[in-house]
Amino acid sequence: MSTALLFPGQGTPGRATPVSTTDTQVALLTTGVAAARTLIDEHGLRVDAVAGHSAGVFGAAVVAGVLDLPAALRVVRVRGAAMERACASGSWAMAAVRGLDRAAVQRLVDTTYGPLWIANVNAADQIVVAGTRAALDALRRRAPAAGARDVIDLGVAVASHGPLQAGTAREVARALAGEAHGEQRRAYFANTTGRRLLHAPGAVLDDVALSVQQPVRWHDIVRLMPELGITTTVQVPPGHALAALAARAHPHLTDLAVDDLGIPATVHRLKREE
């Protein structure tokens, strides 16, 4: 059995986050790393790879060994504050379009007036779009005629993974340059390329910085995992959206969420699978 830990971010449907994006990202990081360390250090779970969705890249980088937790906390605060500044001059949001593929959503984006872009490719038929609230409202009105099943607001007050956050990516890169990094101990799946990184801590840090400016290629990540020997995914808290996406992409894999089972039951289930 080869296991990958999945670290959620803000841009996953069903996780409305009406509080500060900085506080949310700090909470995601600390909760995810605490759960991962409990699974690994206290329960002996062997983890071969990590993947973080959006802000989840920080928890993934810590568990991969590239960043220590204090450094990650410092930099994630830089990220959150810079994102908020980038969005301070307007009304921004993100929404998941379900039932259309990327090409169809891109056509909607291209023909809708206002700042708008594809932010996350979560599944073949679940594409997250970010932009101004006015542009998203216009897209939402037009989406049913294009064949969309629904458009779900993600409950965030920022728009990430697009050109608005270019300055944020630069700030995060500068902050990371001032932090020491460790030797990479586990494979890391990159948001920006959808590929696996091995023994490449510099490339991991590049992904951590650039992912706020570029679309999250989550569907590419989960499609690649079985090809590289991953048989099991475990989503650390909060939620189970990433585990569900992995299960949809590969029904034959074991896809678990700690929030669904609790840590002891999760470990027990995995040991039964061995």
Active-site annotation, residues: 54, 161
Residue 14: strand, helix, or coil: coil
Q: What is the secondary structure of 119-168 as a DSSP string?
A: EEEEETTEEEEEEEHHHHHHHHHHHHHHT-SEEEE---S---SSGGGHHH
Q: Is the dihedral of CA 234, 217, 225, 199 positive or negative?
A: negative
Q: Which amino acid is at 231?
A: T
Q: Look up residue 157 and give its amino acid.
A: A
User: How many Å apart are CA 60 and CA 33, to the nearest integer?
Assistant: 8
Beginning with the edge strand found earlier in the chain, give each strand of the sheet holding 126-132 in spatial order.
116-123, 126-132, 92-98, 150-153
Helix residue ranges per DSSP H, the chain: 21-37, 56-64, 69-86, 102-110, 133-146, 166-177, 201-210, 218-224, 241-249, 258-261, 263-273
Residue 54: which H helix or E strand, with range?
none
d(CA 248, CA 42): 30
CA–CA separation, 48 vs 114, rounded Å?
Answer: 43
Amino acid (one-letter) located at 113 = Y
